[in-house]
Chain A
Amino acid sequence: MKRKIAIAAALAASLLGTAACGSSGGDSAGTISADGKVDGKGKTIKVWLMVDAQSGWKSVVDDASKRFTDATGANVTVEYQQWANVLTKLDASLAGSDVPDVVELGNTQFPKYVDAGAFGEVKKDTFENSASWLPGLSAACEMDGKTYCVPYYAGARVLIYRTDLFKAAGVADAPKTYEDFIAAADKVQAANKDPKFGAVYMPGRYWYAAMSWVKANGGDIAKKDGDKWVGQLSQPASQDGLNKWVDLVKKYSKADVTKDEADQYLVFSQANAGMFYGNGWEQGSAEQVRKDPNDANSPLVDTKVKGKLAAAPMPGIPSLLGGSNVGVPLKSQNQELAAQWIKYFTDSTSMKGLIKANALPNATAMLDVAASENPALKVGAEAAKNSWAVPSSGKWADVEKANVLQNMLSDILTGKKSVADASAAADEQIAKILNG
């Protein structure tokens, strides 16, 4: 008996193993064009999109795929990916031969893969609106004057606030300056005595927000000095911005300082805060939730804040232009077909679909359409014009993956380090990664 238990236990122990990766070679050169006739009969292309498309604008995806299939005869399988593990998954699949034909990545993630030569060069002018692509998106696609991906959609962060609480506190309009914003926060905070209530919901590891405050004060994350990157967070201008943000968090936010912004609209929908800083579409997500969060087709249910929210540009704070691009991996066996699919998926018809779904389109030419056709996007379209981008380095994605900025912010807010010490340490790590 004892021996059996021991052996079973030993086997169980040995099952805790390690993983190894295989690899294979092969690549091709040449620009991928989305023009011309491609016969895709009997072929199927595999598309990786992020979950946002599934929950936000699945009809746009389906419509583009349908137009693609009508034109080429090829079929499309769309696989929706999670942000948490898409890069690890992509790394592994690019090492093999069964690669996706189209891949969506965030605009801050793309440079690393372009730099490592994972994506094929595309013929830029074969895609609609390519002349006015948003620079914040297309910059991530370009290297040495060549284009390796196509902008897909953008997101700009705005101020989302409770109109009912503003009214009750005697704040008439959306704030126009940063001082207005602070004054409004003071009034809303004073009018709500509940200890759980915070005038501004600002989670502690929300680095997009903190860095926007840094940028607003003339600071920066890192700068290239000659051929070396130098961290800029400990510079006086950046320090001012960081301090301003930290003061805001400490004074008005009851948010968990060890959380990031991933679930902020859900927490905000509990009606314990007056404002938050989020993507335009988060207003809708805060007002209505799926009855079954795991089922994108379940009915929408109103939350406590339904009909009480409005959005405005965050006064005095430039927004980090977030968003996604799509590209064709160099190892794809169906490059021409993949480019054709991207053509349909990023054309004006698809962009109009995105605008309806509260996402910002990929080109400045479409931003004005967005502002006039969808009032909810007006604010975001404006914010997108006043935006900033992360340091343009192929290694930036590694800084994000190492959570350098999030860790800096939680070190400051949990009181482990002073603003000066934490930012000096972050500068050192950022320089090490970017120059590494």
Chain B
Amino acid sequence: MYAVETPPAPVQESPRPPVTRRRKRGTGKALPWLLAGPALALLAALLAYPMGRMIVLSFQDYGLKQLWSGATAPFAGLENYLDVLTDSAFWAVVRRTILFTAVSVLLTVLIGLGVALLMRRVGKTVRLMMIVAMMFVWALPALVQAQVFKMMTDSDVGVLNYLIDKLPGVDFQNHSWFFTPTQGWIVITSCVVWAGVPFLAITLNAGLTQVPKELLEAATVDGANAWQSFRAIIVPILKPLLVIVTTLSVIWNFGLFTQNWVMRDGKPEPEFQTLATYSYVQAFAQNKYGLGSAISVITVLLLLGAMAIYIRQMFKIGEVD
């Protein structure tokens, strides 16, 4: 460890470069910072401060008394983290959140890609209608989406039970969709996927317009079938975009809160808790702000893995352009 951390030789200050070149490089470096300054300041205020505060909180024993009196909270060391990491309920929540994210993202990307490909095949009017319809879905706040799904799947007055019950030989009266976690999660996942498809479809559709027609025509001349040209031409061109939208979906779905919270009436059973709701309940319902923060910090660390791929891809695109 120490061997590695020994300060490097003063490489930076070796041979003084010619004056003219140095000035040029100097302005070249300051300008981007200057331009990015306001945005960075905003990000620091909106993201860095709360993040920093959260990290500090996660090492404190912060409760209602501290919140109201403004008194300094006692330092708790790693206690919050130990509490969280040794709690079997927490690990169940982590597993559930990861499973949900994997399934919902896979479905969203596959369906989104399918719809995007379909949009290239249909006529202009139909495509426009598809875009408008998807914009409506996209424009709905998550809260409203969740309320609509909750109403549709209500056991007493839900339209879904009513319709399924109409099928001959099927008894779905008063069927409770949240009786088993599997069915409940199918409802929640459907809602999330339904709401996530428009962004993917429209973005990927934009990406598909970049696929040169000549390439596809050449492939057809060479005797490639539709699947082969999709694999060999469309997928490689779409890949950077696909990676980004997939990573974004992972980030969004990993933080699932509104849908399961609303569909379980703000009182999710343990089987319907995700990392976000679990952390919220600990922090704001139980007033253990330190513990809730520790869970959030762990969530952020878990997400960093996904973020790394995403940021790398962003830089790669920058280089290509």
Which residues of A does B touch, CB under 8 Å?
Answer: 1-3, 5-7, 9-10, 12-14, 16-21, 23-25, 27, 84-85, 87-88, 91, 94-95, 116-118, 195-196, 205, 254, 256-260, 262-263, 267, 270, 331, 398, 401-403, 406-407, 410, 414, 433
Given contacts A23-B69, A270-B157, 14 further A-B contacts (CB under 8 A): A2-B240, A18-B50, A23-B70, A25-B69, A85-B266, A95-B67, A118-B64, A257-B179, A258-B155, A259-B155, A259-B176, A398-B287, A402-B281, A414-B179
CA distance A9 to B67 in the complex (A): 35
Interfacial chain B residues near A17, Cβ < 8 Å: 46-47, 50
Q: A403-B267, A410-B269 are in contact. Are A13 and B67 (CB under 8 A)?
A: no
Contact of A20 among B54, B179, B270, B287 (CB under 8 A): B54
B174, A254: Cβ atoms closer than 8 Å: yes
List of 6 A-B pairs having minimum Cβ-Cβ separation, nearest first: A256-B155, A23-B70, A401-B285, A258-B178, A25-B70, A20-B50
Chain A residues contacting B220 (CB-CB under 8 Å) are none
What separation, in Å, do the CA atoms of A12 and B46 have in the docked complex? 13
Contacts of A267 in B (CB 8 A): 156-157
Contact at B65–A270, with CB atoms within 8 Å?
no
**Contact between B65 and A116, CB atoms less than 8 A apart:** yes
Whether B251 and A195, one on each chain, are in contact in the complex, defined by CB atoms closer than 8 angstroms, is no
The interface on chain B, measured as residues whose beta carbon lies within 8 A of the other chain's beta carbons, has a size of 56
Instruction: Report A37 CB to chain B, min CB distance, Å.
Output: 31
By a CB distance below 8 angstroms, the chain B residues around A1 are 206, 210
State the CA gap A17–B241 with chains docked (Å). Answer: 24
Q: Which single member of B248, B266, B269, B284 contacts A9 (CB below 8 Å)?
A: B248
A117 with B65, Cβ < 8 A, contacts A6-B244, A403-B269 known: yes
Determine the main DSSP class of B at the interface with A: helix
Q: How far is the CB of A7 from chain B (nearest CB, A)?
A: 8
Partner of B49, one of A20, A87, A117, A407: A20
For the complex, what is the distance from the CA of A9 to the CA of B267, rounded to whole Å? 32
Chain B residues positioned under 8 Å from A94 (CB to CB): 67-68
Known A-B contacts A5-B203, A267-B156; the reply to A19 vs B171 at CB < 8 A is no
B124 within 8 A of A: no
Distance, CA A94 to CA B63, complexed state (A): 13
B296 contacts which chain A residues (CB < 8 A)? 18
User: Residue B132 at the A interface, CB < 8 A?
Assistant: no
Quote the shortest CB–CB distance from B80 to chain A (angstroms): 14
- The answer to whether A257 touches B171 (Cβ under 8 A) is no
CA distance A14 to B48 in the complex (A): 11
Q: Is A16 touching B269 in the complex (CB atoms < 8 A)?
A: no
Are A258's CB and B317's CB within 8 A?
no
Given A2-B210, A6-B317, residue A91 in contact with residue B67 (CB < 8 A): yes
Whether, in the assembled complex, B214 has its beta carbon less than 8 Å from a beta carbon of chain A, the answer is no
Residue in A13, A117, A257, A262 whose CB lies within 8 Å of B176: A257
Q: Would you call B50 and A3 a contact (CB within 8 A)?
A: no
